[in-house]
Structure 1
Amino acid sequence: MDDSLKYLKPVAMEKAYRLLNVGGTGMISAEYKGETGMMPATWVCALDLMPFKATAVIDKSHFTRPLIEKSGYFAIALPTLEIIEETMYLGSVSKYDVKDKIEKSGAKIFTLDGFDIPFMKGCAAYMIFKLIPEEHNQQAYDLFIGECVKAYADERVFKDGHWIFEQADPKFSTIHYVAGNHFYSIGKAYDTKISI
């Protein structure tokens, strides 16, 4: 039996921005009236600390985009090396073409906290955002801004407000998309002499 969900712990809002501060690939998902969408995106970025806000660039051609626009919510999760193949499949197939793409990806799906937004098991962190409507940015730049309303992280890699990848199994490393089918996973930790 899969017990990975027992490791999910709430993340304090003042620490939630750190979940996106590693530059990893984000898994964007949304739901509207029973219709779900899920797609990886690499142009995902923390925008503000408190309240924690983030941005995501989501092209007009993506199935997930109108779900975000209609529902007013979206999620960002951080896929790990353990689910790299599922992540790549979700990014290479459109739900416009393959209606059951999420099922065909092999991803194990769950929801959190009364939201119907789908999440893929095996991610290092999960965040739910309320869309901050900025029509000009969305239409001109495909740029979506959201305020985080819930954040969770797997305590095996994020504990007490800090990433601890160096202490975890490498399969829990976040993945960083480059191009084609080429990814990196997060590597070793290094501390400088100067501390801030």
Structure 2
Amino acid sequence: MPVSTVEPVELAKAYRLLNHGPTVLVSSAHGARRNVMAAAWCMPLDFDPPKLLVVIDKSTFTRELIDASGEFAINVPTQAQRALTVAVGSDSGRDRDKFAALDISTFTGDTVAAPLIAGCVAWLECRVVPENHIQSQYDLFIGEVVAARADSRVFSAGRWHFSPEHDALRTLHHVAGGAFFVTGPMTDGDGD
């Protein structure tokens, strides 16, 4: 991914990075340990400050790292990263570093320690908003988005704009059993 295409996203428009319902990769880190997992249940929650919701099962290593660090990152993978998305969603990182085992390239974010995954089209750095009841009862985490960026080839001026020349950058949408849809053609609408 050309570094020149990664641009900051205004926090007031960060919700638009998730509003179309993509499958995401949740990355986390604490101390010398790090992990990444796939999650199909992630959505925007609020605008100011921007917040999102993500389900992270209590049995996962990602959850252990998030509980310890109080932060995580949401990475929005592409159609070209389908195999990677399935791989990180099918295996635990508790006994091995998935980043090393799967040769996942990362870069450092602005605010949180969780690694950001190269090749994705959007990244949201989040701090956990403590809500112990919903975390323990429903495995539901609220994250306050403290930094956001996107690949300007497909997201700029606060909008997604997938085009045929960037088909490999279309986002994934899990529909069950390892099957995915990808983002389709845009239909312009009125409004902001």
Out of 145, 167, 170, the residue aligned to residue 170 of structure 1 is: 167
Identity value in percent? 41
**TM-score, scaled to structure 2:** 0.94
Task: Give the superposition deviation at 1:5.
Answer: 2.0
Q: Do residues 126 (structure 1) and 123 (structure 2) align? A: yes
Quick one: distance in 2 between partners of 1:168 and 1:142? 39
Q: Do residues 145 (structure 1) and 147 (structure 2) align? A: no
The equivalent residue for 1:136 is 133
SS at match of 1:188: coil
Task: Give the superposition deviation at 1:167.
Answer: 5.9
AA at the equivalent of 1:109: T
- Deviations along 1:21-68, one digit per CA (max 9) or x if unpaired, are 110001101111121010010100100011110010000111100111
Out of 3, 7, 15, the residue aligned to residue 5 of structure 1 is: 3
Quick one: distance in 1 between partners of 2:141 and 2:3? 28
AA at the equivalent of 2:138: Y
Quick one: distance in 2 between partners of 1:101 and 1:74? 16
SS at match of 2:65: helix
Quick one: distance in 2 between partners of 1:107 and 1:33? 19
Q: Structure 1 regions of 5+ residues with no counterpart? A: none
Task: Give the superposition deviation at 1:141.
Answer: 0.3
Task: Give the 3 Å change call, closer, same or farther, for CA 21–113 of structure 1 in structure 2.
Answer: same
The equivalent residue for 1:187 is 184
Out of 32, 54, 57, the residue aligned to residue 30 of structure 2 is: 32
Quick one: distance in 2 between partners of 1:132 and 1:39? 20
SS at match of 2:44: strand
Quick one: distance in 2 between partners of 1:121 and 1:35? 19
The equivalent residue for 1:69 is 67
SS at match of 1:123: coil
Task: Give the superposition deviation at 1:69.
Answer: 1.1
Task: Give the superposition deviation at 1:86.
Answer: 1.0
* Cα RMSD (Å): 1.4
Residues 12 and 151, structure 1, Cα contact 8 Å, conserved in 2? yes
AA at the equivalent of 1:22: H
- Deviations along 1:138-159, one digit per CA (max 9) or x if unpaired, are 0000000011100000000101
AA at the equivalent of 1:33: G
Residues 86 and 106, structure 1, Cα contact 8 Å, conserved in 2? no
SS at match of 2:114: coil
Task: Give the superposition deviation at 1:168.
Answer: 4.7
Q: Structure 2 regions of 5+ residues with no counterpart? A: none
**TM-score, scaled to structure 1:** 0.92
The equivalent residue for 1:93 is 91
SS at match of 1:23: coil
